[in-house]
Structure 1
Amino acid sequence: MTEPHSQTVPKQVSSAKPTDLNPMVRVNKPLKPEIHYIGEQKTPVIVIDDFTADISELQHCANQIDFNLDKGSYYPGIRAKLPRDYVIEVLNHVFQLIYDVYKIPTNLRIKPQATYFSLINRQPESLTTLQRIPHFDTPAPYYFALLQYLNEEDHGATAFFKHIPTQFERITQANMDEYFRAAEPYLQELAPHPAKYFVESNQYYQQHHQIEYKQHRLVIYPGNLLHSTLVCPKTDIDSNPQTGRLTANIFINVS
């Protein structure tokens, strides 16, 4: 774990004083991050267990708001807007860690892209072909997903994959076209078969790491990693924020 930069550091996400915020969570300090170097590329993934001490108010918020189908992505479920103060609280606690671990130039600034509560609720038979394989969020080099697991129950892990025909673990602007060309035969092969979630390795995608769903755990990873939720239909396909696979998702780009 590197020490904070001694040179000019990035600005905090908000200039609001702590007393101005109702973050809906109490963050455990000091943070105790673990850095997992995953796959053959040894890409860093940040895992912070017990990131929060109390999320009851955040859970209450999720229970009170309306979730809707996410039409802007291939996420197989419903989403609702995260409270702004929660997003600010999370980013203000981890932004320096992100810059340090991923060696991001300090002249670049964090720009939140999307912030959601998320619940998987799509039945396997209704999945599109692209929802049946591991995915990446964007090829941008400094785009990150911050994922916090919010419920107590056991739910599907977040898994990371290598595309076997190309050996790609991360999809970048340089290799994206090659990846799409190489992935197309598998999509055509999948299309006529009964739809199901992708939960185990095959001759096209090999799982090389997974992070278990655990309440209060925060995970940070580059959005260009091939990844997927290991969906268990019995426990994870649930539109109820109190019992479903509830997560808080913050997507940021640093540019």
Structure 2
Amino acid sequence: MMHASRAVDIPGVALNPNARVEIKKIGHEQQPVFIVDQALINVEAMVAFAAEHTTFGPPPSTSRYPGRVAPLPASYMPNILAALRRPLESVFGYVAGPRPTSFGFYGLATVLTADLMPDQVIPHADATQPNAYASVHFLSAHDYGGTAFYRHKATGLEVVSPAKSQASYQQRNAELEAYKGSPHSKLQALYEEIAYIEPVANRLILYRAGQLHSAKMAGVDTLPDDPRTGRLTANLFVNIG
């Protein structure tokens, strides 16, 4: 269960009006990944808040996040979502429903790739609704691996849509069963990497939640259990119901 954080202001944490924006079109489907560098004026305050004013605990039972999670500062999510509203509409064609939903959390990755479960190793989709989006905000100054996007080789699938979700789920489970007990590399070889986003400090990326993706931490041999020195991210999900 995620623990409640105290209502503490974070002086200096504000959106950067001079942030650099880039749009990458990836894969055969040319789906966009919206990238914002230097997203906040003072990202160090976000790290300090995580270390001093919130408590990390295990992820919810429905999550496969490979580490610990904690609540974000109260002002972070509304400010980020307000700033993302225009690119959601112009870049992704987002159309708000009557009751858009959102949630987010700090993520502190603590499980090395070699120790992950098979279903944590292979790429996944966060949701399949057409108006579902996810963002990752890299807060760490250290390179513990970024986010990679993939294509399933056998089917060519890059984005899991509602129409394809059942078949994708069944194939995923069949492959997990077929390669049970095999090295992770056997499962990973079923997918082709189509893009990789480097984990630059204070970089925020936004993508469709149905896009097959995974944290790419191969070669990382240590993941400190400390928000100040570990792989700390802020993770948001929009219109996921």
TM-score, length of structure 2 as denominator length: 0.86
**Contact 2:34–2:206 at 8 Å: present in 1 too?**
yes
Determine the C-alpha separation between the residues in 2 that align with 1:46 and 1:96: 12
Q: Rate the CA distance shift 1:42–1:234 in 2: closer, same or farther, 3 A.
A: closer
Residue 248 in structure 1 maps to residue 227 in structure 2 = no
2:143 aligned partner: 154
| Runs of at least 5 residues in structure 1 that lack an aligned partner in the other structure | 1-20
Q: Rate the CA distance shift 1:189–1:237 in 2: closer, same or farther, 3 A.
A: farther
Q: Rate the CA distance shift 1:26–1:61 in 2: closer, same or farther, 3 A.
A: same
Q: Rate the CA distance shift 1:107–1:135 in 2: closer, same or farther, 3 A.
A: closer
Determine the C-alpha separation between the residues in 2 that align with 1:181 and 1:161: 18
1:248 maps to a residue whose letter is A
**Contact 1:24–1:86 at 8 Å: present in 2 too?**
no
Secondary structure (helix, strand or coil) at the match of 2:231 reads coil
> What is the CA-CA distance between 1:55 and the residue it aligns to?
1.7
**Contact 1:161–1:209 at 8 Å: present in 2 too?**
yes
**Contact 2:72–2:106 at 8 Å: present in 1 too?**
yes
Determine the C-alpha separation between the residues in 2 that align with 1:78 and 1:238: 12
Q: Rate the CA distance shift 1:33–1:122 in 2: closer, same or farther, 3 A.
A: same
2:132 aligned partner: 143
1:103 aligned partner: 93
Determine the C-alpha separation between the residues in 1 that align with 2:112 and 2:43: 28
User: Percent sequence identity over matched residues?
Assistant: 27
2:32 aligned partner: 44
Q: Rate the CA distance shift 1:212–1:123 in 2: closer, same or farther, 3 A.
A: closer
Residue 170 in structure 1 maps to residue 159 in structure 2 = yes
Aligned alpha-carbon RMSD (Å): 2.4
> What is the CA-CA distance between 1:57 and the residue it aligns to?
1.9
> What is the CA-CA distance between 1:135 and the residue it aligns to?
0.7
Determine the C-alpha separation between the residues in 1 that align with 2:10 and 2:146: 30
Determine the C-alpha separation between the residues in 2 that align with 1:106 and 1:123: 37
> What is the CA-CA distance between 1:186 and the residue it aligns to?
2.4
Q: Rate the CA distance shift 1:164–1:186 in 2: closer, same or farther, 3 A.
A: same
1:28 aligned partner: 16
Runs of 4+ in 1 over 3 A off after TM superposition: 21-24, 106-110, 123-126, 194-198, 232-236
Deviates more, 1:25-34 or 1:54-63: 25-34
Determine the C-alpha separation between the residues in 1 that align with 2:203 and 2:133: 16
1:129 maps to a residue whose letter is P
**Contact 1:124–1:197 at 8 Å: present in 2 too?**
no
In the alignment of these two chains, the number of paired residues is 231
> What is the CA-CA distance between 1:241 and the residue it aligns to?
0.6
**Contact 2:111–2:223 at 8 Å: present in 1 too?**
yes
| Runs of at least 5 residues in structure 2 that lack an aligned partner in the other structure | 1-8
Q: Rate the CA distance shift 1:78–1:229 in 2: closer, same or farther, 3 A.
A: same
**Contact 1:144–1:221 at 8 Å: present in 2 too?**
yes
Determine the C-alpha separation between the residues in 2 that align with 1:84 and 1:149: 18
For residues 74-116 of structure 1, the C-alpha deviation after alignment (integer angstroms, 9 at most, x for no partner) is 111110000120111111222112111111236656421x211
Q: Rate the CA distance shift 1:158–1:131 in 2: closer, same or farther, 3 A.
A: same
Determine the C-alpha separation between the residues in 2 that align with 1:56 and 1:197: 39
Deviates more, 1:116-125 or 1:62-71: 116-125
> What is the CA-CA distance between 1:30 and the residue it aligns to?
4.2
Q: Rate the CA distance shift 1:63–1:233 in 2: closer, same or farther, 3 A.
A: farther
1:55 aligned partner: 43
> What is the CA-CA distance between 1:128 and the residue it aligns to?
2.5
1:18 aligned partner: none
Q: Rate the CA distance shift 1:23–1:210 in 2: closer, same or farther, 3 A.
A: farther
> What is the CA-CA distance between 1:127 and the residue it aligns to?
2.7
